[in-house]
Structure 1
Amino acid sequence: MHRRPLTRPEAAEVMREIRQSPHITGYSAGEWTGRRDTFALVDTGTGRLAGALLVHHLAGRWSEIAVVFLFDEYRGRGLGQRMLRGALRALEPGGRDLLLFFCSSGMGRIAGESGFDVLAGEAEFTRGSLRRRLFLSVLYKPQWLCSAYRLREIRRKKREFRCSFAFKVAVMTRRGDR
């Protein structure tokens, strides 16, 4: 796995596939090609992109593992967990707390096996913590929703796939809940 932005053709291919997923909201070409921290998993035999992982570094010393994506032919081999664990090792020196919002049970299993605490949703994440409530409502959501591409994709997927995007939350705290 390489910590690098995707090329334009790689980003276009990933975006095309994600457009068909009811579990991933959508991320723009700009996010995949350099505006975010990106990891690329390349098939060493073919040189083809096998998957990608996208990280948003947010205000408040939090980072979000926004997407863990594998092309269909690479799924079921443990590569998603390998990508996530590799990214966690690379991100570790930063000491930031980590969030991962997900809809699919497979992603919940991968997150739990990678050391995240898997929670039922935002209410459980913020329960008893004013700091977390403020972070989620004031810092996180405006940063996440500032993408016109993502907002269009959310609307389209709700209409076409009837997605509810009832996200569960996985959390890995590295500094404690301050």
Structure 2
Amino acid sequence: MADNIWTEEWSGGMLMKSAMMLGMLVDDPGSLSSGNSRLLMVFVGLVAFCMVVQAIVVVVFVVGAAKSQKRLQSIAEEFRVRAIPVFDSAEALFHDTAPKVRVIADNLVETSHIVRAKAVEFDATLSDANNRTRAQVARVDGMVSSTLNATASLGETIHEGIRVPVKHIAGAIAGLKAGLDVLLSRAKGFGGYRGPDL
């Protein structure tokens, strides 16, 4: 629209300049000769032709701009007709889902608090079970150590209890044997008894 006004102003300005030049030439009677007047007529004809062409171009531009404007208005109206229901349904969907999203967010926050509390409780339970297990392991270790010590002591006592009497018995048997040997060797000397050689 602004282009049309500028084009009209420009063409009007050109027309006025051409008319002023023509007026100046006509004002001075001695300055126009027949050759010059013919040139002036051709010049004025050319200017008039250019002005007509320019006017036609301006009219074509105005008609094209009007058609484009109508087309853009119809496209905008069609877009508005199709977009308004979409926007309305989107707004209704937003209003419908906003409370549900808020409830979901609140539930997530509450679930997060519950999970955190249960994690702390589980950690405390696990730490307590770990401490109890360590105490039980230490107690079992002490019991096993004392049992092993008692078993070792008992084994040593049994060993000593068996070894000492066996030693005494072996000593007694050795003494008896030595005694028998002595008796047998004396008996050999007395009567010629020959007993088994031990």
Q: What is the TM-score normalised by the length of structure 1?
A: 0.16
Higher helix content, 1 or 2: 2
Larger radius of gyration: 2
| Higher RCO by CA contacts (8 Å cutoff, separation 6 or greater) | 1
Higher strand content, 1 or 2: 1
Q: What is the TM-score normalised by the length of structure 2?
A: 0.15
